[in-house]
Amino acid sequence: MTIRGAARAAFPWPSCPHCQSANAAADGEYVCRECGTVIGPVLVPPVTKEAPRPPPRYRLIMTALERESRRSVRRYSEVVKMHLGKVAKALGAEVAAVALDIFKRLDKRVYQGRSPRVVAATLAYLAAERLGIYVHKRVIAEILKVSKFTIKDTVWRLRRYLQEA
């Protein structure tokens, strides 16, 4: 039995109580066409509304795209290395190498909450300082488009950690 057949069995077509006619019109209410008696309100059978399942091809494509988007999220360290690459073009590869060495020795909690740009700028400044190269914070700030005051604050924090370690 189909769904509609089950609904018809559950909700039979009304018959007129006066003339016993099954000839009724449904226009908001059931009205007998023979004698004009109002039989009652129209009862709407329950209909299960369910969205049709998407075709399998669509689901496969969407799961592949979702998986790809999860992979494309870069790790914090990768972003810092990318920004250090920009600094390396301007200041030299040895500054970036020393900065990466410093970054590997840092604990995550020290730079947590800081922008990767700021951390990269700070590491570049500390690396240049270690190599004996004088670079003004403003120069590094212009390369990575961050504030020199943010670099100053982060340098203070990282220096304190590096002295303790």
Which whole number is the average pLDDT over 5-20?
Answer: 64
Q: What pLDDT, in 10s, does the model give residues 22-81?
A: 777 766 677 888 887 887 776 666 667 787 776 788 778 888 888 766 665 678 888 899
Residues 108, 35, single domain; the answer is no
Please tell me whether residues 90 and 129 are part of one structural domain.
Answer: yes
Q: What is the pLDDT of residues 104-147, one digit of tens each?
A: 988 888 888 888 999 999 999 999 999 999 999 999 999 999 99
Residues 94, 34: one domain? no
In a domain, 22, yes or no: yes
Residues 2-11, buried b or exposed e (16+ Cβ, 10 A)? eeeeeeeeee
Give me the residues paired with residue 127 across strands: none
Whether residues 110 and 31 share a domain: the answer is no
Shared-domain flag, residues 85 and 37: no
Answering whether pTM is above 0.85, one says no
Q: Which residues have C-beta within 8 Å of that of residue 119, sequence separation ≥ 6?
A: 80, 103, 111, 154
Indicate if 87 and 146 belong to the same structural domain: yes
Domain assignment present for residue 58? The answer is no
Instruction: Look at residue 69 and tell me if it is in a domain.
Output: no
Q: Is the pLDDT of residue 6 over 60?
A: no
Residues 36 and 81 in one domain: no
Same domain flag for 151 and 93: yes
**Cα–Cα distance between 138 and 152 in angstroms, integer?**
10
CATH number at residue 92: 1.10.472.10
pLDDT at 62 (0 to 100): 82
Tell me, yes or no, whether 107 lies in a domain: yes
Provide the token pair at 95: 């500054």
Residue-level pLDDT at 33? 80
Q: Is residue 68 part of a domain?
A: no
Helix axes 148-164, 93-105, angle to 10 degrees: 60
Question: What was the pLDDT predicted at 119?
Answer: 93
- Whether residues 22 and 91 share a domain: the answer is no
> Do 41 and 80 belong to one domain?
no
Residues 102 and 158 in one domain: yes
pLDDT at 45: 61
Count of domains for the chain: 2
Within 10 angstroms of residue 56's Cβ, the number of other Cβ atoms is 8
The reply to whether 95 falls in a domain is yes
User: Which residue range(s) make up the domain with 126?
Assistant: 76-164
Enumerate the β-bridge partners of residue 16: none
Looking at the structure, tell me whether residues 80 and 160 fall in a common domain: yes
Secondary structure (3-state) at 38: strand
